[in-house]
């Protein structure tokens, strides 16, 4: 039976930041359907107010999907804040999620705040939030989140992402609201046995300490697979590896 895969990005990111990954995903699973959704305040929803509760982000996704031709259960592949949304979704509505891949995420239940956003990066994150220069902002983000790109490739991609922001930029207020939602999210102690979960981690993640993925995988007793070289933006750095793990798992 054909599956529907829902891809969710993270903090202040939108569907276009997946770059080539949705097309790679579709090629790897040609009989399935792959869709990308934006969280409120990002991308096509940039004019919406970002919720300050992850649970309200779930409510928005469920409302968006309920009116269309796509029917649950869905398979979810999610990164960072998007993975927190996936956790909340599958816990509260397990009949709607057939499986979830959680990439480079963290939860307060299992990890302290200084691991969830590495302390040494606070200054750079603040710069990215405050700078009016869109290219500089995106270059700072890429320097923190990708281990694959050299300086030239990083600048080229930063310019493209700056173009995204020029038309669908995340407001500073919405960025702070998303940060607050991520910080306050209190994940459940356990997950439904009926929903398979896979945790993927970039061992070279400089944004979120890799110990966070290990802690939640152990806490929830779900499988963890680590790419030792990838950074926080796991699909940008190692998209083919991610697809291999998903294919082996589900």
Other CB atoms within 10 Å distance of the CB of residue 113: 10
In order of 136, 189, 216, the CA distances from 221 in angstroms are: 40, 11, 8
Structure-token pair, residue 28: 């790897």
Would you say 177 and 50 are in contact if contact means Cβ atoms under 8 Å apart?
yes
Give pLDDT, residue 112: 81
Give pLDDT, residue 122: 66
- Domain interval for residue 38: 4-249
At how many degrees (to 10) do helices 122-130 and 172-184 cross?
Answer: 150
Q: Give the chain's residues under pLDDT 50.
A: none
> In the chain, how many domains are there?
1
Would you say 34 and 7 are in contact if contact means Cβ atoms under 8 Å apart?
yes
Other CB atoms within 10 Å distance of the CB of residue 142: 20
Residue range 160-192, pLDDT digits in tens: 999 999 999 999 999 999 999 999 998 999 999
Going by the DSSP 8-state scheme, the letter that residue 12 receives in this structure is T
Give pLDDT, residue 62: 96
Give pLDDT, residue 121: 66
d(CA 80, CA 8) in angstroms, rounded, equals: 9
Q: Which of 73, 32, 53 is nearest to 247 (CA)?
A: 32
Tell me the HSE value of 94 on the side-chain side, using a 13 A CA sphere.
9
CA 189 to chain centre: 21
Would you say 34 and 2 are in contact if contact means Cβ atoms under 8 Å apart?
no
d(CA 238, CA 178) in angstroms, rounded, equals: 26
Q: What is the CATH number of the domain that holds 244?
A: 3.40.50.1820
Starting at the earlier edge strand, list the strands of the sheet with 97-103.
33-37, 4-8, 74-79, 97-103, 197-202, 224-227
């Amino acid at each position: 039976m054909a599956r529907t895969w829902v891809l969710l990005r993270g903090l202040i990111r939108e569907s276009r930041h997946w770059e080539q990954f949705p097309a790679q995903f579709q090629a790897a699973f040609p009989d399935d359907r792959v869709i990308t959704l934006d969280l409120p305040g990002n991308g096509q929803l940039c004019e919406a107010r970002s919720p300050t509760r992850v649970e309200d982000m779930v409510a928005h996704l469920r409302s968006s999907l309920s009116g269309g031709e796509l029917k649950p259960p869905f398979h979810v592949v999610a990164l960072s804040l998007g993975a927190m949304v996936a956790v909340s979704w599958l816990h509260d509505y397990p009949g709607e999620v057939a499986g979830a891949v959680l990439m480079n995420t963290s939860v307060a239940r299992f990890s302290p705040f200084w691991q969830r956003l590495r302390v040494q990066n606070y200054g750079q994150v603040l710069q990215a939030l405050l700078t009016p220069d869109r290219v500089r902002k995106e270059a700072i983000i890429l320097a923190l989140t990708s281990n694959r790109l050299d300086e030239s490739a990083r600048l080229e991609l930063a310019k493209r992402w700056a173009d995204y922001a020029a038309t669908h930029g995340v407001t500073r207020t919405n960025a702070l609201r998303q940060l607050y939602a991520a910080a306050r999210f209190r994940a459940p102690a356990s997950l439904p046995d009926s929903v398979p979960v896979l945790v993927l981690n970039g061992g070279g993640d400089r944004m979120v300490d890799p110990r966070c993925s290990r802690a939640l995988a152990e806490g929830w007793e779900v499988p963890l697979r680590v790419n030792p070289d990838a950074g926080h933006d796991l699909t940008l750095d190692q998209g083919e590896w991610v697809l291999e793990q998903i294919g082996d798992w589900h």
